[in-house]
């Protein structure tokens, strides 16, 4: 151990989650506006609330509607078609969308991590090509990282791009690619050169792959329920022109891991099952005095945890707003938040006086059933909790 907790250079909690990054009046006005819009959409029957809607409720009309209202591309500068606002504005919008279980999967990945990566690493041509459409809710993206033997050990990717005239020829395959069957493109992490010595993280690059081009095959990987969410994406000598390399050739590892700070830090890492909790509380409240003390105590305790996570998640958003890359704080929030999401489901199963039923006409049994089916993925996607704890342990000087 090189740097013990409590030592001067140890990043204590107050450093990871600095106080004083608060939402202002402007943010609360924005919240009211977004909430009003969502209530109106719900009243018009434009969507049905779902848990985990950010990953599985795909509705392109809804995304375009959000884009038209200026609720996407929030932090994208106006010159690229965005709103030119800050990460806390985006936080408020995403928080309201998640809390209401709105169908946001179509634009989620593009708005969350592709747009900031294009801003950070993309060329002017790439920014102008993609950012306006992302901000309008018309350009949908996946994440091309995982491979059959490269999940947690991402540096083991075997997709390989070889140099050809004017660009690269990409061969290999990705798995667990959420939404690739609907998406327009993703960044593929691929090996473009040999590792330097034994440092496997070198020699990797990010390539922009438009998914409708020759040589790209998208095969469904179905869930046990039969639902099509995941895919295997196979590349067979796909030509990637030089102007579709993202950032610097050989710098893909650093770029991809900085993208993970955006992927791991958002409120979707603790709010995926909030619609279940609020529906449960609503039903209990409608039952009046019949709520058992033991149930009320469980609801109270989990609600307190939701509020704690919110403060931590908000601090991460505040750090992002200041241009920082708070990857350790993001890892902590994701570990704690995804466990909270699962605990909400366990409590709902204990407290609810109903059986889970995916086709029930009423909300609670339906939300309960879909939460149970989605829970196993919470602590895996975006980096497993074991890997996140390794990130935190390293920052604490314990590895």
Ligand X SMILES: Cc1cc2nc3c(=O)[nH]c(=O)nc-3n(C[C@H](O)[C@H](O)[C@H](O)COP(=O)(O)OP(=O)(O)OC[C@H]3O[C@@H](n4cnc5c(N)ncnc54)[C@H](O)[C@@H]3O)c2cc1C
Can you give the binding site for ligand X, defined by CB under 6 A? 142-143, 145-146, 151-152, 176-178, 377, 380-381, 383-384, 386-387, 390
Name the minimum Å distance from CB 176 to ligand X.
Answer: 4
Q: How far is CA 166 from CA 187, 239, 240, in A?
A: 19, 9, 9
What is the residue whose two structure tokens read 């209202």? 69
263 is catalytic: yes
Q: Identify whether the C-beta of residue 70 lies closer than 8 Å to the C-beta of residue 111.
A: no
Name the minimum Å distance from CB 168 to ligand X.
Answer: 19
Which residue is catalytic, options 96, 147, 263, 327? 263
Q: What is the rounded CA–CA span in Å between residue 224 and residue 232?
A: 16
Q: Closer CB to ligand X, residue 81 or residue 229?
A: 229
Name the minimum Å distance from CB 262 to ligand X.
Answer: 14
Q: Identify whether the C-beta of residue 21 lies closer than 8 Å to the C-beta of residue 27.
A: no
Q: Closer CB to ligand X, residue 15 or residue 152?
A: 152
Q: How far is CA 390 from CA 9, 269, 362, in A?
A: 19, 18, 42
Name the minimum Å distance from CB 301 to ligand X.
Answer: 27
Name the minimum Å distance from CB 17 to ligand X.
Answer: 24
Helix, strand or coil for residue 316?
A: helix
Q: Identify whether the C-beta of residue 233 lies closer than 8 Å to the C-beta of residue 174.
A: yes
Q: Closer CB to ligand X, residue 319 or residue 372?
A: 372
Radius of gyration of the chain (CA): 21
* Residue environment code for 59-87, b if the CB has 16+ CB neighbours within 10 A, otherwise e: beebbbbbbeeebbbbbbeeebbbbebbb
Q: Closer CB to ligand X, residue 319 or residue 333?
A: 333
Determine the distance from the C-alpha atom of residue 241 to the mean position of all C-alpha atoms in its chain, rounded to a whole number: 28
Which is nearest to 147 in space by CA: 168, 111, 171?
171
Q: Closer CB to ligand X, residue 342 or residue 383?
A: 383
Helix, strand or coil for residue 286?
A: helix
Name the minimum Å distance from CB 359 to ligand X.
Answer: 22
Which is nearest to 232 in space by CA: 177, 150, 283?
177
Q: Closer CB to ligand X, residue 180 or residue 280?
A: 180
Q: Which residues are catalytic?
A: 263
């Amino acid at each position: 151990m090189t740097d013990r907790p409590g030592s001067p250079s140890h990043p204590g909690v107050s450093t990871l989650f600095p106080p004083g990054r608060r939402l202002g009046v402007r943010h609360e006005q924005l919240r009211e506006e977004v909430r009003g819009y969502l209530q109106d959409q719900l009243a018009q029957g434009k969507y049905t609330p779902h848990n985990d809607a950010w990953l599985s409720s795909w509705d392109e009309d809804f995304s375009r509607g959000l884009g038209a209202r200026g609720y996407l591309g929030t932090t994208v500068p106006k010159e690229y078609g965005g709103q030119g606002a800050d990460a806390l504005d985006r936080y408020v919008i995403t928080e309201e969308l998640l809390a209401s279980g709105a169908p946001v999967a179509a634009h989620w990945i593009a708005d969350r991590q592709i747009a900031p990566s294009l801003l950070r690493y993309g060329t002017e041509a790439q920014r102008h090509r993609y950012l306006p459409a992302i901000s309008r809710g018309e350009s949908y993206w996946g994440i091309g990282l995982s491979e059959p033997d490269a999940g947690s050990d991402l540096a083991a990717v075997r997709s390989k791009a070889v140099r050809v005239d004017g660009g690269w020829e990409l061969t290999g395959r990705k798995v667990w690619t959420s939404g690739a069957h609907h998406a327009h493109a993703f960044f593929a992490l691929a090996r473009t050169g040999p590792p330097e010595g034994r440092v496997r993280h070198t020699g990797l690059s990010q390539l922009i792959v438009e998914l409708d081009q020759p040589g790209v095959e998208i095969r469904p990987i179905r869930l046990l329920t039969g639902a099509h969410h995941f895919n295997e994406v196979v590349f067979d000598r796909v030509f990637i022109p030089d102007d579709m390399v993202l950032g610097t050739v050989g710098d893909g590892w650093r770029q991809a891991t900085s993208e993970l700070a955006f992927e791991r830090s958002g409120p979707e890492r603790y709010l995926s099952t909030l619609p279940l909790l609020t529906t449960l509380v609503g039903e209990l409240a409608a039952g009046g005095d019949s709520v058992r003390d033991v149930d009320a105590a469980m609801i109270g305790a989990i609600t307190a945890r939701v509020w704690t996570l919110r403060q931590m998640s908000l601090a991460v958003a505040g750090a992002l707003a200041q241009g920082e890359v708070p990857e350790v704080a993001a890892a902590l929030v994701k570990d704690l938040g995804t466990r909270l999401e699962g605990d909400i489901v366990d409590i709902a199963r204990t407290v609810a006086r109903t059986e889970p039923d995916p086709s029930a006409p009423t909300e609670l049994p339906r939300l309960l059933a879909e939460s149970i089916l989605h829970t196993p993925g919470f602590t895996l996607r975006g980096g497993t909790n074991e890997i996140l704890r390794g990130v935190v342990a390293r920052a604490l000087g314990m590895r």
